[in-house]
Structure 1
Amino acid sequence: MRAYRFLNQVVKTCRNLSTVATYRSAQSTKYYRYHLAGTVAGAVVLYHCYRNKVFAATTVKDGRARWMDDPITDIEALEKSPNSMRTKMELLLMRVQAEFCHALEEQDGEKKFHVDRWMRKEGGGGGGITCVIQDSPVFEKGGCNISVLNGMLPPDAIAQMRARGKDLPQDKSLPFFVVGLSCVIHPKNPHVPTLHYNYRYFEVQKEDGSTVWWFGGGTDLTPYYLVEEDVVHFHKTLKDACDKNGNRGLYPKFKIWCDDYFHVKHRGQRRGVGGIFFDDFDQPNQEQAFQFVKSCAESVVPSYVPIVKKHKNDSYSYAERQWQLLRRGYYTEFNLVYDRGTKFGLVTPGARYESILMSLPLYAKWEYCHKVEPGSKEEKLVTVLKNPKDWV
């Protein structure tokens, strides 16, 4: 109780100094968490208190909370296994989620992300933190969702994994764990591209007790009007992230994989100008694979936010808005027809459909037999979507 009284005194002192932006009392009988969001001298101090110990104190600049909400996994469990890949990925993605949401809030200048914490009620344990911004000055709809799930993997999902070469038994249900962060941002201005990124870690426990694990993810850009220097910046930032830690051969491989994966086959076009995409990644070992994923996840803000800042106040016409809505219809077609993550989510027991379908735009349109005008800006984009090119 000594640590508890000490923390209460810290909170009272900060309140007297008008430096507390957020204060949360106990969320369970097991631990206490206090957010002391300092607006003076620079910082947020997060205290985790369990029994008679203060486990951690982390200072974050600019008065921003380190996470959008408490981790899904119990704090005590995380602190008992700091070197577990489950712990490392959950804490990485919690941080990336918060940094990305705060960066977009800064660009918007008016609205904040609505934070929706949910827990899985059936089909296993876990839950998620869905952050959504909607009808704001800059963003028509944006979702950034972290999920931490475990339970029994149904045969349908295992069949998908077997089709990708996973050594898993047929017609069996197996224990699984997955932690992932998935974000899609649909800006209002047609001159600001849509962004998608997803990074995840997956484990399946086989009947003999051994574990099959892998990473997956990627980041890709869907512009409505082609600004080549923006696309070059986007790809170069991703390439620099891939090249860290001596992984210079991965960007070209994952760039092609991205172009092939985000292919709206029935329209003969890619969804956008690509980026990187990978799945079943387990080389050369777990720690080095994690460092690669970490570098890629941390590249999202510098790859995208400068483009938002550059174009969010551009003027646009009614015709440009209609073209944006039409392209969003094609975006929706890919997500519902081809996207592997959507398919997996929909067959997972206890799935939360609001979070799975958060990637869909707020508005879209379908126009019968639409044709682009020859020589137009729209045709310039479609040409690249039909014939992907190297950008760096």
Structure 2
Amino acid sequence: MITPLLSSTTATAFPVTTYSAPNLSSSLSTNFTSSLTLGLGPGLGRTTTPLRTIASTLTRTRNTNFVQVRASSSSSPSLPVIEKETPETQRPHTFLRESDNERSPNTNSTAVRARFEKMIREAQDHVCSAIEAVDGNGMFKEDVWSRPGGGGGMSRVLQDGAVFEKAGVNVSVVYGVMPPEAYRAAKPLSSEDKPGPVPFFAAGISSVLHPKNPFAPTLHFNYRYFETDAPTDAPGAPRQWWFGGGTDLTPAYIFEEDVKHFHSVQKSACDKFDPSFYPRFKKWCDDYFYIKHRGERRGLGGIFFDDLNDYDQEMLLSFATECANSVVPAYIPIIEKRKDTPFLDQHKAWQQLRRGRYVEFNLVYDRGTTFGLKTGGRIESILVSLPLTARWEYDHKPEEGSEEWKLLDACINPKEWI
């Protein structure tokens, strides 16, 4: 436990954690070095079969408004220049295409697309309202954009508030076309499948919240839905879909009651659907947020999942909704408890060192961030997950037994908190 000190001193990218997947301009080529991502933090594509070997040339189809991808020689390693998004002055009712809205209301894919977009936009409103209320001073700046190929996004960033150094909450809707090779990598084909260009749809919400007080933890969450249509030359091929996401906590100091509360809320959300979810997704989270060159995790975990389609689609949509709705009750009570805790310069310095680890993970390992940087995505969205301030000291080692050492030990050796 940490005993608060009596003296005190006071002492960011969207889709957040990273990259807002954009449309791609014509006559360009790329190497797919990671699973297909929406740029809302961890990869939106199937992480079990990353698209590591596909070299593609990207051209715009004139009749479909898709981003079309066709195979080319692997000797062409040049990367695409991402088409500029179009700023909008007002929030649209929906980022879905008209063609989606014109489909029969009984079409399941359209219903899931529309309901997921509705969910993430409501979650964005709910989280932003809660953050503004607990901050008491800061207000979110909102940027809305669309893309010629369909879809769009909404970035909200609160910066240098009374409580939050930087808080970002983003939503994005993306349309595109996968090359045949990407479809084969994402889904084993049966003998009857005839691969061709595969249209896809992706939507997600992602957020990173960095408080000022070193005793208040950083939070990241991300929930996303990905769907492909049948390959264009295989009319009968089944549609593929999957969900991904997670919520994780990154404190600089450990208050066990806070960490237990956070993990209890995650477990409660998981247990409503399957008791195996929490232990499975907690381990996945510990494994994903691993800083390999440091030999430690970014924080104290939470839940993380990807490529999830082995349950009923309606059930998983409800599960993602429950997880997104659990963000505020999992996090805001901790912030209310810790935001005014007195601290010293040494505590702020340690927080900034841990923020340095956050930066390292996001820029080196996070799939959405690295993909966005390599492909020229919307830079403000890519880097919004980064804190305003971070710190690196040469060969810094906390004293064994100190509160800082306890945090580092928990990042090296993940614990079962509940």
**TM-score normalised by L of structure 1:** 0.75
What amino acid maps onto 1:309 in structure 2?
A: E
Q: Which whole-Å CA distance do the structure 1 matches of 2:216 and 2:194 have between them?
A: 45
Return the match for 2:352 from 302, 322, 325. Answer: 325
Residue in 2 that maps onto 1:131: 156
Please tell me the residue identity of whatever aligns with 2:120: L
1:316 pairs, out of 325, 343, 352, with: 343
Corresponding residue for 2:242?
214
Q: Residue in 2 aligned with 1:370?
A: 396
1:177-197 Cα offsets, whole Å, 9 max, x none, are 100000000111111100000
Are the counterparts in 1 of residues 96 and 150 from structure 2 also a CA contact under 8 Å? no
- Distance in 2 between residues matched to 1:275 and 1:368, nearest whole Å: 30
Alignment gaps of 5+ in structure 2: 1-89
Residues 4-62 of structure 1: CA deviation (Å, up to 9, x unaligned) = xxxxxxxxxxxxxxxxxxxxxxxxxxxxxxxxxxxxxxxxxxxxxxxxxxxxxxxxxxx
- Counterpart AA for 2:206: S
Report if aligned partners of 1:68, 1:97 keep a CA contact under 8 Å in 2: no
| Residue matched to 2:387 | 361
Q: What is the CA–CA distance in structure 2 between the aligned matches of 1:120 and 1:302, rounded to whole Å? A: 34
CA apart distance, 1:375? 1.8
Give the aligned partner of residue 180 of structure 1: 204
Matched residues in 1 for 2:341 and 2:99: separation? Answer: 48
For structure 1, which segment, 332-341 or 300-309, has the greater mean C-alpha deviation from structure 2 after superposition?
332-341
Matched, 1:249 2:270: no
Alignment of 1:38-49 (within 5 A): none
Deviation at 1:342, TM superposition (A): 2.2
Q: What is the CA RMSD across the aligned residues, in angstroms?
A: 2.6
CA 1:188/1:205 → structure 2, altered by over 3 Å: closer, same or farther? same
Supply the distance in 2 between the matched residues of 1:225 and 1:375 (Cα, whole angstroms): 13
Q: Distance in 1 between matches of 2:194 and 2:143?
A: 36
How many residue pairs match? The answer is 318
Q: Which residue of 2 aligns with 1:98?
A: 125
Match of 2:377 in 1: 351
Counterpart CA distance in 2 for 1:227 and 1:79 is 51
- From 96, 110, 120, the equivalent of 1:73 is 96
Residue 414 of structure 2 corresponds to residue 391 of structure 1: no
Specify the alignment match of 1:231 in structure 2: 259
Contact 1:114 1:132 in 2 (8 A): yes
How many Å separate the matches in 2 of 1:68 and 1:388?
Answer: 42
Q: How far, CA to CA, are the matches of 1:205 and 1:105 in structure 2?
A: 39
1:203 paired to 2:227: yes
Quote how far apart the aligned CAs of 1:75 are: 8.5
Give the match for residue 5 of structure 1. none
- The residue number in structure 1 matching 2:70 is none
Secondary structure of the corresponding residue to residue 175 of structure 2: strand
Deviation at residue 283 of structure 1 after TM alignment: 2.4
For 2:133 and 2:383, the matched residues in 1 are separated by 25
Q: Is contact 1:68–1:98 with CA below 8 Å preserved after alignment?
A: no
Aligned mates of 1:78, 1:356 — CA distance in 2: 29
Find out whether 1:166 has 2:166 as its counterpart. no
Structure 1 runs not aligned, ≥5 long:
1-66
CA distance in 2, matches of 1:206, 1:336: 34
Q: Which amino acid aligns with 1:134?
A: Q
| Residue pair 1:153, 1:176 contacting (<8 A) in 2 also | yes
Counterpart AA for 1:167: P
Matched, 1:286 2:313: yes
- 2:219 partner SS: strand
What is the Cα deviation at residue 340 of structure 1? Answer: 2.1
What letter matches 1:200 in structure 2? R
Helix, strand or coil at the partner of 1:382: helix
* SS in structure 1 at match of 2:377: coil
Q: Which amino acid aligns with 1:203?
A: E
Q: Post-superposition shift, 1:353?
A: 2.6
Shift of 1:175: 1.8
Cα distance between partner residues in 2 of 1:102 and 1:70: 19
Q: Residue 394 of structure 2 aligns to a residue in which SS?
A: coil
Is 1:109 paired with 2:136? yes
For 2:268, give the aligned amino acid.
D
Q: 2:322: which partner in 1?
A: 295
The normalised TM-score by structure 2 is 0.71
SS of alignment partner, residue 225 of structure 1: coil
Q: Give the match for residue 167 of structure 2.
A: 142
Q: Secondary structure at the match of 1:267?
A: coil
Question: Larger RCO: Structure 1 or Structure 2 (Cα < 8 Å, ≥ 6 residues apart)?
Answer: 2
Structure 2 vs 1, CA of residues 70 and 361 (structure 1 numbering), >3 Å: closer, same or farther? farther
Contact 1:68 1:115 survives alignment (8 Å)? no
The list of structure 1 runs, each at least 4 consecutive aligned residues, that deviate by more than 6 angstroms after superposition, is 168-172
1:54 corresponding residue in structure 2: none
Q: 1:72 to 1:188 in 2, by over 3 A?
A: same
